[in-house]
Amino acid sequence: MEKVPKMTARDLKELKEEKERIFEERLRFIDLYTDWLKKTPNRIWSKQHAEFLGK
């Protein structure tokens, strides 16, 4: 069985940077989504929203 990786300070720094990149990616997605929401009629976005949340 593969051993659990031993993390160095450099590895941990890399993980921290990855966490930050993932978070920024989430914020970019929020921007993309809100741009779409703002220009999309309510009947269209809310149909998808209701399907996603459950009718």
Partner 1 sequence: MEFEFSKNRIVFERELSYLDRLVIQFTRILDQTGVEYVIISGYIAILFGRSRNTEDVDLFMGEMPFGKFRRLWEKLEQEGFECINASGPQNAYEDYLKDQLAIRFAVKGTFEPNFEVKFPKTKYNRYSLNHKIEVILNKQKLMTSELELQIAFKLHLGSGKDFEDARHLYRIFGEKLNKELLQEHITELNVEKEAEKILWKKYQK
Question: Which residues sit at the interface with partner 1, rule CB under 8 A?
Answer: 23-24, 26-28, 30-31, 33-35, 37-38, 40-43, 45-47, 49-50, 52-55
Contacts of 11 (CB under 8 A, 6+ apart): 5
The residue (of 13 and 26) whose beta carbon lies closer to partner 1 is 26
Tokens at 52, concatenated: 């996603």
Element containing residue 12 per DSSP (H, E)? helix 9-39
| Residues shown for the chain | 55
Minimum CB separation from partner 1 for residue 18, in Å?
Answer: 14
Minimum CB separation from partner 1 for residue 32, in Å?
Answer: 10
